[in-house]
Amino acid sequence: MKIKILLLVFGLTVLQANDAQTLFDAKCQMCHIKTRPSDMSKLVAPPIMGVMRHIKMTYHSKNEAVSFIKDYVFNPSKSKAVCMPQKIQRFGLMPSQKGAVTEKEVEEIANWLYDNFPPKGFHGMEHGMKKGRGRGMGRP
């Protein structure tokens, strides 16, 4: 039986937050690592910090991002992909996770990913998202 913890942290109970990370570790981390890779040649899929960077650049609200992740995990396609085409060419299209993860698990993981990735200070998160970038308006 699950013990419910009433302490709220970022809108989730501590137990739920830990469950989501544990789910990610069990269901996703075998392909999507959570850290910056030291050896790119050993990757089998893009690191999750880069994946989430592209998702957040495309889907600007948490609800949109979580909905996208829930759909894409079960029904991936090149037309839905938010990554650069070279990533699909290198790693292939993510296989559907139907049967490997439940919709509820994906929703928990997606919310946790949105709240935690990419980590603050991740190089490139702000790239191209600043007002005036490339239009001569950003620097005096």
User: Which pLDDT belongs to residue 121?
Assistant: 80
User: Which pLDDT belongs to residue 120?
Assistant: 84
For residues 54 and 32, give the distance between their C-alpha atoms in angstroms, rounded to a whole number: 14
User: Which pLDDT belongs to residue 139?
Assistant: 35
For residues 89 and 5, give the distance between their C-alpha atoms in angstroms, rounded to a whole number: 44
Beta-strand runs (E) in the chain: 8-9, 12-13
CATH of domain 8-34+43-116: 1.10.760.10
Residue pair 125/53 in contact by the 8 Å Cβ criterion: yes
* Closest listed residue to residue 108, CA positions, set 56, 77, 68, 70: 70
User: Which pLDDT belongs to residue 122?
Assistant: 78
For residues 81 and 87, give the distance between their C-alpha atoms in angstroms, rounded to a whole number: 10
Q: What's the DSSP call for residue 101?
A: B
- The amino acid sitting at 85 is P
User: Which pLDDT belongs to residue 124?
Assistant: 53
Q: Which residues of the chain have pLDDT under 50?
A: 1-15, 125-140
| Residue 58: alpha-carbon gap to chain centroid | 12
User: Which pLDDT belongs to residue 137?
Assistant: 36
